Every structure is written in structure tokens, then in C-alpha cells.
Amino acid sequence: MKTNKLFNLILTAILVVGITQTGMSQDRFTKNFQVKKGDNLSVKVSGDVRVESWSKDEVLVEVSGLDAVDRDDLKITQDGNTVSVLLRNDHNVSFSIKTPGQFNFDIKTSGGDLSCLGEFYGNIKGTTAGGDIKVESINGKVELVTAGGDINTGNINGDLKVTTAGGDIHVGIVNGEGKMTTAGGDIVVTSSSKSLNVNTAGGDIKVGNVGGEIKASTAGGDIEVGLVSGIAKLNTSGGDIKLAGARGNTSVNTSGGDIKLENIYGSVKANTSGGRIYAELTPDGSDESKLSSSGGTITFLIPENVKATIEAVIKADNLKGPWIITSEYKTDSYVTDEDNKEIRAKFTLNGGGKLIKLTTSNSKIEIKKLNK
């Protein structure tokens, strides 16, 4: 009896030592490698992937939830300056990886969330077939793709490209070129130092200041943009548009909302099928401008020291309605055209300049002095 107990104790001790030496437990596996700053991490797995930065020149990979019988499907290797994590077949597992802050990533998971936590210096590629993506501070080029989740980033000091087939996108400050696309969510960007291209098939767009050009499009939401140093092209099929400022040939269009444009320098093309237009324009004489509404008031502000020719037209079903063109500038002509059911007025500022045409239906037009 005592002999059996002694045998069992020895066997248990051997098993514990064996497990400890190999870095294995019933559901956890760890492996580490010595690396240099600027090396690479390649991950192709299924499950959640979490990467964190630390101060060691070492990569530590921890795998949880993988049964011992399936460990032949897992390969964790180092070849030159690249650490690779490869998992064949789909398993309900999770990966926790620690790397130096100066590192490059190429991470693909077929069915989980992806997160990069901490501050990293390097290029990041992250793809998941069905989860959320979260990255914090990145100094480098970033490309993120998910087929069915949200994307959230902190500040990105480099170019950023993010795509999701069905979630929201929230981005911090982008010190580089930015491109964001979602098939069914909102897009929020704190600011961008260079050009920005954002597109959603079914949500709102909200962007802070942009250091270059911006193109923003949504099939069913509002667009709000801060000060833009370059050209702004904004389009929505069913919401309002607000722009705090832009330079160049500004173009905005909405099929069913109001338009508010402030601090526009250059020229502007603005159209709404069913809302009001408020626009502040300082023309630079490079191109004509046109503001058009199918059924809302147009309020147009222009400085009194610029050269411009303004034509205003109201198309009215009933010319005896409360439709009128008012102006703080001297009127050259004012015509009520019964045959064409139009009210037309013309204004010449400082000898005239590039044409600015204002058109609405069954509403009024107001032309005011811009004092800024």
C-alpha cells in the first residue's frame, strides 16, 4: 500500500515537472523569442488576438484554449527577423502576444477580435473575418480590415486605411493620408493633417479639421466637417451637410437635407433637393459658383470688396405667394416673369466678376454682406 502511494507521488511529480518545462498546461501554451527592435510578427490564426508593447527585446506568445490533442495544428517559429504564429483549422482559442514597441505586424484572424494596445513604432496590417479591431497609438503605416465589426483607433502618425463591411469607424488624430470605408455604420475622425477619403453606405460622418482635401460620402446620414485646407467634396443621399470652412472648388450635395457652409474661399457648387442653404463665400475669381435648392430658403453671404456677378432665381407655382429676393447690395434688375413663373434679380459687385447663380423653388433668397 505504501509502495503504491509512493509510486503515485513520484508519477505526479514527473508530470508536473514535464508540463512546467515545456510551458504547457491543460489549456495554455507559451513560447518566447529573443528579437531586435524593428523585427516582424506574422500571425495567421482563428480566435481573438491581443498584442501589447513592452520594454523587453523579446516576443512572448501565450495561447489559451487549445486542447493538447490539437497542438500539432499550432506552429510558433522564428526565422531570421520574423516571428510567425500559424494555426491550422478553426479552433476556439485566444492569443496574447507581447512585443517590443518598435515592431511591424501582419495579423490575420478568421474569426475573432484584434487589438494592439500600447504605443508602437512600425507598420501594422490587421485583418479579421468577423470581429472588432482596436489599436492605440501607432507611428507608422496602418491598414485594418474587418468583415463584420467596429474599428477604433487612437492617434496614428502615418497613413491610415480602414475598412469594415458592417460596423462603425472611430479614429483619433491622423498625421498622414486617411481612407475609411464602412458598408453600414458611422465614421468619426478627430482630425487629419493630410487628405482624407471617407465613405459609408448607411451612417453619419463627423470629421474635425483636415490639412488637405476631403471627399466624404454617405448613402443615408449627416455629414459634418471642420476647417479644410483644401478642396471639399461632400455628398449624402439623405441628410444635412455642415462645413466649417474650405478652400478651392467646394462641392456639396444632399438629396434631402439642409446645407450650411461657412468660410468658403474660392468657388462652390451646392445642391439640395429639399432643404435650406446657408453659404458664406469669398470668391477668388477662378470659377463660377452655383447654389440650388428644390424647396428651401437660400441665405448667401459675400464680402462687399470682391468682384462678382450674382443672379438669383425663384421658380414659383404661384407668383403671388410670399416668395421674394432680398439683398443688402444694390439691385441691377428685378423681374417677375409671369410666363416662365420666375422671379429673377441681378446684382453686380465692384464691376462684376465670375457668375454666382442662386436658384430655389417656392421659397425665398436672401443676399447679405459678409463681415469677417
Question: Can you tell me whether residue 73 is helix, strand or coil?
Answer: helix
Number of structural domains found in the chain? 1
- Residue-wise pLDDT for 288-300, tens only, equals 999 999 989 999 9
- Domain assignment present for 27: yes
Q: What is the structure's pLDDT at 291? A: 98
Answer yes or no: is 113 within a domain. yes
With beta carbons less than 8 A apart as the criterion, state whether 124 and 105 touch: yes
Q: What is the pLDDT of residues 31-48, one digit of tens each?
A: 999 999 999 999 999 999
Q: Which residues pair with 45 in a beta bridge?
A: 109
Task: Note the pTM of the prediction, 2 decimals.
Answer: 0.90
Give 205-221 as a DSSP string.
EEE--BSS-EEEEESSS
Burial (CB count within 10 angstroms: exposed 0-12, middle 13-18, buried 19+), residue 24: middle
Tell me if 122 is assigned to some domain: yes
Dmax over CA atoms of the chain, in Å, equals 118
In a domain, 131, yes or no: yes
Residue 82 lies in a domain: yes
| Residue 137 domain flag | yes
Tens digit of each residue's pLDDT, the chain (372 residues): 444 544 444 444 444 334 333 444 447 889 999 999 999 999 999 999 999 999 999 999 999 998 888 888 999 999 999 999 999 988 889 999 999 999 999 999 998 999 999 999 999 999 999 899 999 999 999 999 999 899 999 999 999 999 999 899 999 999 999 999 999 899 999 999 999 999 999 899 999 999 999 999 999 899 999 999 999 999 999 899 999 999 999 999 999 899 999 999 999 999 999 899 999 999 999 999 999 999 899 999 999 999 999 999 999 988 877 899 999 999 999 999 988 999 999 999 999 999 999 999 999 999 999 997
Return the pLDDT at 69. 81
Query: Range of 140's domain?
Result: 22-149
348 in any annotated domain = no
CA distance 114 to 126: 7
Contacts of 294 (CB under 8 A, 6+ apart): 272, 273, 274, 360, 361
Residue 109 lies in a domain: yes
